Amino acid sequence: MSNTSSDTTEDESLITTEVETGSANWSPALGETAVAARDLNVFYGDEQAIDDVSIEIPEKRVTALIGPSGCGKSTFLRCINRMNDMIDVCRVEGDVEFGGKNVYDADVDPVALRRKIGMVFQKPNPFPKSIRDNVAYGLKIQGYDGDVDARVEESLKGAALWDEVKDQLDSSGLDLSGGQQQRLCIARAIAPDPEVILMDEPTSALDPVAASKIEDLIDDLAEEYTVIIVTHNMQQAARISDRTAVFLTGGQLVEYDDTAKIFEDPEEQRVEDYITGKFG
C-alpha cells in the first residue's frame, strides 16, 4: 500500500522483486516478494543461530515461522528490520532484501527501515502514555505533517480497537486489558504506514478470547500488509498463515511451503515428526 504513499523517499521505497519462477514450492498466485533472505547466516559470538537461510516471503500474505525453541525463529525475524543491531555480539552475513535493496547496506537507515517494517512483540509493551500518544509517537518522531488525530483514528480502526477506546484516547495505554494493549501496539506499528509487520509470538501472553481477536485482526491486516509471524502454536500457524517456514535446531530452514502442504503432506520426515509432536 505505501508503495504509492507520498512520504516514501527513494531510500525507503520498496521495489518488489519478481518471484523466481520454477521454484518447486512456490505458488505463482502468491504474487510478488516483499522480503527475501539470501544465504543468511547469523552468529552470536561463536554460536551460529541461523544457518544459510534463503527464503522469499510474499507480500500481503501471512507467513508463519515455526520450529522448536532455540531454532532461530526470533533471530531470523529480527534480521528483517535489523533489530539484531541492538545485540553487540550478533553478526549477520548474507543479504536481506527489501525494496530491491539489502537492508544491511551501509546507506540504509535502520530507523527509517523500522518504520517500513514494524514489529509487535510477545508481551504487549505500550508506552506509559495516553492511548493517543502511543499511536502518535512514531508519527511525531518521523515529523509527520499530516493530520495526526486522523491517522491515530485510522490506525486504531486498523487494529480493531477504535470502538473500544474512542471515548478514552487520553487515558493511559497501560490501563487497557492485555489484549487491548496488544492491539494498541499493533496500531502503533501501523501508524507510520509500514509495508511489513513482524510479530514475535503476539498472542502467547494473552487469554484465548484476546488471542482469537488478534488472529482475526492478522487476517484483516494481510489485506494491506505483509505479515510475518513467529508462533509456537501450530494450530495458530495452520489457521492464520498462507505460507509456513519450518526451522529446526541449528537455525536451518528445513521446509517452506504453502501452509496446507506443510501441515498435511510435508516433504521432510523431520518436519512431519515436529508437526505431529514427536519432538520439540
Site for ligand ATP in 77-96 (CB under 6 A): 87, 89
Angle ∠(122,128,134) on CA atoms, nearest 5: 75
* Cβ neighbours for 95, distance < 8 A, ≥ 6 positions apart: 36, 37, 38, 39, 40, 102, 104
Member of 69, 209, 223, 277 binding ligand ATP (CB under 6 A): 69
Closer by beta carbon to ligand ATP, 146 or else 250 = 250
Q: What is the 3-state secondary structure (H, E, C) of 108-156?
A: CCHHHHHHHEEEECCCCCCCCCEHHHHHHHHHHHCCCCCCHHHHHHHHH
Closer by beta carbon to ligand ATP, 75 or else 130 = 75
Please choose, out of 65-73, 162-170, 187-195, 258-266, the segment that lies near ligand ATP by the rule CB under 6 A: 65-73
Q: Decide if residue 121 touches ligand ATP (CB under 6 A).
A: no
Angle ∠(31,20,77) on CA atoms, nearest 5: 70
As measured in angstroms, the least distance from the Cβ of 228 to ligand ATP is 13
**Cα-Cα-Cα-Cα dihedral sign, residues 201, 195, 72, 245:** positive
Question: Which among 40, 253, 64 has a CA at the least distance from the CA of 270?
Answer: 253
Closer by beta carbon to ligand ATP, 65 or else 176 = 65
Member of 16, 58, 66, 72 binding ligand ATP (CB under 6 A): 72
Helix (H, G, I), strand (E, B) or coil at 165: helix
As measured in angstroms, the least distance from the Cβ of 84 to ligand ATP is 8
Member of 17, 38, 43, 44 binding ligand ATP (CB under 6 A): 44
Closer by beta carbon to ligand ATP, 72 or else 179 = 72
Site string for ligand ATP, 182-211 (x = CB under 6 A): ------------------------------
Looking at residue 269, what DSSP letter applies?
Answer: H
Distances (CA, A) of 196 to 38, 59, 81, 113: 18, 8, 9, 10
Member of 30, 37, 66, 71 binding ligand ATP (CB under 6 A): 71
Radius of gyration of the chain (CA): 18
Specify whether the CB–CB gap between 59 and 226 falls below 8 A: yes
Q: Decide if residue 33 touches ligand ATP (CB under 6 A).
A: no
Q: Give me the phi and psi of 170, to 5 degrees please.
A: -90, 0
Please choose, out of 71-79, 133-141, 144-152, 210-218, the segment that lies near ligand ATP by the rule CB under 6 A: 71-79
As measured in angstroms, the least distance from the Cβ of 86 to ligand ATP is 9
Query: Site residues (CB under 6 A) for ligand ATP?
Result: 44, 49, 67, 69-75, 87, 89
